[in-house]
Amino acid sequence: MKFLSDKAVERLREGANPPDLAGTRYALLERVAQGGMGVVYAAQDEKLGRRVALKVLDTPDQKGELARRLLREAQVLAQLEHPGIVPVHDVGTLEDGRVFYTMKFVEGQRLDKHIEAVASLPDRLRLFLRICDAVAFAHARGVLHRDLKPANIMAGSFGEILVLDWGLAKILHAPRNENRVDGDPETRRIEEPGVALAGPPSTEALSVTGHGAVMGTPGYMSPEQARGDVESLDEGTDIFSLGALLRFLWTQQPPGTPPQPLTRTDKSLEAMCAKATAVNPDDRYSSVRAVAADVSRYLDGLPVSARSETVLDQAGRFYRRHSVAILLIAAYLLMRVGLLLVTHR
Amino acid sequence: MIDAVRGNDPGERSRALETLFAAYWKPTYKYVRLKWNRPAEDAQDLTQGFFAELLERDLLGKYQPAKSRLRTYLRVCLDSFVMNEDKARRRQKRGGQVLHVALDFAAAEGELDGMAIDAAQIPSPESLEEFFEKEWVRTLFMLAVEDLRKRCEARDRETTFRLFEEYDLDGEPDVSYEKLAQQYGMSATEVTNALAWARREFRSIALGRLREICGSDEEFQREARAVFGRNAR
């Protein structure tokens, strides 16, 4: 008789326990991922004839707290219509009472797998800029992700980069909306979770997770988040995670890995990572846009705000940026000097 | 099953007991090794002695499904039995009813070694209770997988079982439906369908075995939910 490891027992439990989608427009295809509170399945939307990802609670939820969280996650995602954020299609309840939502099915690889095939640092940094775009958009809508890490970023088959798993998201404030009358209490009211699916986000700090709970991923989680200081979290916590992601994309090593002795250091990149992951949130970049701007400047060979350069650094950077022209000019000058020497003999 | 154990038909009674012992002997042995910190040889004697005592003292006949789960009842009986170890050993030496379940203690011991369990890591009674439950589920699943293998062989679906084994049991990190499809010369859809069939059969077999070792329908519903989650039926 074959011995079953703990993991095998867990897989058998999950594999043999598919959600019953009777009464919905979806047909179950396969289990694709396990999240903190739910499982994601591939399902076929039989009305529209397309494949979707269906996330459903998989843990007992006597008090309905997890159902409210899942619903909140769907609501958060629905507010974030952006090419870098996976769109929600539908939300509902299964016959057994479990809440589910469906979203775009993304075929591709997790970022940590994907970058194994991306050898060029500039290409990896350009991926990072697209992640920053999505996070900056969420921040503009008043939403913190709070669990940014390679496993939660998907690189699609057609080059798309999508930020996934907004299960730990926190709503900070109402979105910036030019068409709305500022201060109008009616436009800022939020429905109680679980009562209505549509409704503007709240002006008060609402968390998809419970207040005070420590949730996140070590290495990518900011010190204030690791302390469970949920109420005081702001954009800085995602900026910290982006800094850890930037370092990961640069070194291709997970956080906490000792630096390789033979790795050539890059002081500008090191300074950008250090600034984004500063222990004190006040020492970090003021916004995701500021992080992205520094990375863009780095890619263009310009000085970055995170580091004061010496004259030698400036000269080195100037050389790297204009190396072709400098070499051509140097070759031209050498040729002229050579000609002068020959003609004066 | 409990009714069969209590009944007068010796054949039915024997079959029901063997079903019960098959599901419980390994969790019992590992629990004795871990909770009571007994050497392997003592644990083997205690495991056999415990099941002999179950029969001799008709402990299953005294079980009341309304009061507790069979699993909890057996664990409490086991604790009480080990506490009276000397008495239990004397009973075992007297002989008693013969069990026809092969108890492969060497395999159970190997599993314990492979799991590298440190008793100091699970000091509380609740942790030991969880351990007993976990081992019980593991044994139930191992029996169900073995039944599934036989069912696949009987229906010429050996490939289906191999797919199930590679994807669900071994679960190598880089395994995927696409890779299995290439490896077995099938389409990804065929792999999906084969695995869906195997999982349905596995579930049905495991629930069938579970039903046999539960004392009542209510207990079966509770245990099914504990094993497979809230939508177990």
pTM: 0.57
Structure tokens at A311: 């004259």
CA-based nearest distance B204→chain A, Å = 9
Confidence of residue B115 (pLDDT cuts 50, 70, 90): low
Confidence of residue A194 (pLDDT cuts 50, 70, 90): very low
Q: In angstroms, rounded to a whole number, what is the distance separating the alpha carbons of residues B85 and B87? A: 5
Per annotation, catalytic residue among A45, A147, A165, A238 = A147
Residues of chain B positioned with their CB less than 8 A from the CB of A19: 231
Confidence of residue B233 (pLDDT cuts 50, 70, 90): very low
Q: What was the pLDDT predicted at B177? A: 81
β-bridge mates for residue A161, sequence order? A155
Identify each DSSP E strand in A96-190 by its residue range. 99-104, 108-110, 143-144, 153-156, 161-163, 170-171
Mean pLDDT across chain A: 80
Residues of chain B positioned with their CB less than 8 A from the CB of A60: 229-230
DSSP at A191? P
Please check the confidence at residue A74 and state whether its pLDDT lies above 80.
yes
If you search the block for the tokens 């050498």, which residue do you land on?
A: A334
For an interface test with B, the pick among A4, A44, A57, A100 (most B C-beta atoms closer than 10 Å) comes out as: A4
> pLDDT of B35-74, one tens digit each?
777 888 888 888 888 888 888 788 888 888 777 788 888 8
Q: What was the pLDDT predicted at A207? A: 42
Taking the CA of residue A132 as centre, how many other CA atoms within 13 Å lie in the half-sphere pointing to its CB?
25
Between A7-16, A197-206, A253-262, the lowest mean confidence (pLDDT) is in A197-206
β-bridge mates for residue A206, sequence order? A171
Residues of chain B positioned with their CB less than 8 A from the CB of A8: 141, 168-171
Which has the higher per-residue pLDDT, A222 or B114? A222
Structure tokens at B100: 């026809």
- Contact indicator for A57, A37 with CB cutoff of 8 Å: yes
- Contact indicator for B129, B75 with CB cutoff of 8 Å: yes
∠ Cα A216 B229 A35 (to 5°): 20
Identify each DSSP E strand in A36-189 by its residue range. 38-45, 50-57, 88-93, 99-104, 108-110, 143-144, 153-156, 161-163, 170-171
Q: In angstroms, rounded to a whole number, what is the distance separating the alpha carbons of residues A122 and A128? A: 10
